[in-house]
Amino acid sequence: MARSFTHFLPLLLFACFAVIASIALVMTLSGERKPSELPSALIGKPVPPTELPSLYNPQAFVNIEAATSQPYLVNFFASWCAPCRAEAPALAILAKEIDIIGIAYKDKPQDSQRFLTDYGNPYTAIGSDNEGSAGLNWGVYGVPETYLISADGLIIKRHAGPIDGDILREELLPLIRSLQKQG
């Protein structure tokens, strides 16, 4: 009995490996598993304290604070970023549902302003992160990135890359609505 078991052990091991590999492959192919997408380390954590000069009024400051009365979005964008143009329509739709704070990431203020003139300004407030230091604090690794913050100042969701129709309808809007009901 023991002898026949050792005979088949390698086959068994290989079968296990093959099953795991196939599941991973199927998930990757169906788009369920995205190996290059990084989880945010900040999910469920309070927002990193952020104070940035306002884009349109450098003397004033935009503060992202822990406690607000409503959930809101934080969106990192830049005029030099093509996907940011692509997500402009989605942000315009979102702006009707929820406050969006924009952070102009590593961008000259006049360029950001021109970008907003050209593609629309969905933001309630815009901070200018010239050095990208706020981006570092938020764990941003590429614009656009969008964070959903709950009313009690916790990061609920991070989306890296442009917001397209699917993500808007199936992920962000349902989440936002459920948060707003709670609030």
Partner 1 sequence: MRFFQALILVLLANISVQTLPITQAFAITAEEQLTDPALEARARDLSKQLRCLVCQNQSIDDSDADLAKDLRAEVRKQLLGGADDKTILSNLQEKYGDYVLLNPPVSLATIGLWATPILALLLGGGLIVYSRRRGLPTPTPSVPLPSASEDKELASEKAIHTRPIGATSLAVTASFCILIAGAIYWFGLGSPSLPSQPLSQRASEINLEARQAEAQLAEKQQAFAAAKDATMGTPENIGNWLELALAAAELGRVEEELNALRTALSLTDEDIGIKSMLAEALTRSADGQVIPEARQLIAEILAENGGEPRALFLSGLAAMEDGAYNRAVDNWRYLIEISPKDAPWVSVVRENLTEAAERAGIALEAAGIALEEDSGTSPLPALSQESLSAAAEMSEAERLEMIEGMVANLRQRLDENPKDSEGWQRLARAYRVLNRPEEALEALGRASAAALNDFELQLAVLEQLMMAGKDRDTAPSQDKAKEVSVANIVLERAMALNAEHPELLFFAGHFARRDGDKDKARFYWAKLLDKIPASSETARLLQLELDKLAR
What residue ranges bind partner 1 (CB under 8 A)? 3, 6, 9, 36, 38-42, 48, 106, 132, 135-139, 141-142
Sign of the alpha-carbon torsion through 27, 29, 35, 38: negative
Q: Which residues pair with 148 in a beta bridge?
A: 73, 157
Pick the closer one to partner 1 by CB: 105 or 119: 105
> In this complex, which beta carbon is closest to partner 1, that of residue 139 or of residue 153?
139
Nearer to partner 1, 143 or 179 (CB): 143
Beta-bridged to residue 145, according to DSSP, are: 76, 160
Q: How far is the CB of 6 from partner 1 (least distance, A)?
A: 7
Report the residue number, 61 or 141, with the smaller CB distance to partner 1: 141
- Cβ neighbours of 8 (radius 10 Å): 10
**What CA–CA distance (Å, rounded) separates 27 from 29?**
5
Residues forming beta bridges with residue 76, ordered by sequence position: 103, 145
Alpha-carbon distance of 13 to 177, in angstroms, equals: 47
Find the shortest distance in angstroms from Cβ 110 to partner 1.
20
CB of 176 to partner 1, least distance (A): 24
